[in-house]
Structure 1
């Protein structure tokens, strides 16, 4: 999976999320994905902006968690997230 693919997936998912007044940034080796949920409509970019929550991981790890092949808590405890 590429940074472009994961950004497209986040964009589709974020469009269904209501404004939460916060932002999150995923930091991957390939670059960041910033999700701004402070506006009526979510804004997803690959800009390296400040965020309320920053998650550093690999795209492969996130994909494994999303597929159910990896337990999210185990990923955190093992340092993969």
Structure 2
């Protein structure tokens, strides 16, 4: 999967979503997407910057989450999605991909 397509998709949603108030990183292993929501708008980049919350997930499971084919709570409970840091920030991810 092309990380630029993920960045573009999240950026489209992030533009209309309220700022997160913090930073979030989605770690796909080899590639990362960073969302900086500390300013007036959410800024989405394909970078490995520090974040208040890091969500580790495979690209395949991320796409299932976005499409509604994978329940987020079950994904976390079964280890398909791992969250480090501020859980409140992780909960805001839905506004950027849903």
TM-score (norm 1): 0.90
Residue 49 (structure 1) shift: 0.8
> In the alignment, which residue of structure 2 is the partner of 1:4?
4
- The CA RMSD measured in Å over matched residues stands at 1.2
TM-score (norm 2): 0.76
State the alpha-carbon separation in 1 of the partners of residues 41 and 76 from structure 2.
30
State the alpha-carbon separation in 2 of the partners of residues 58 and 42 from structure 1.
23
Stretches of structure 1 lacking an aligned partner (at least 5 in a row): none
Structure 1 residue runs of 4 or more that deviate by more than 3 Å after TM superposition: none
The answer to whether the 8 A contact 1:2-1:59 is kept is no
> In the alignment, which residue of structure 2 is the partner of 1:56?
56
Stretches of structure 2 lacking an aligned partner (at least 5 in a row): 82-98
**Aligned residue pairs, count:** 81
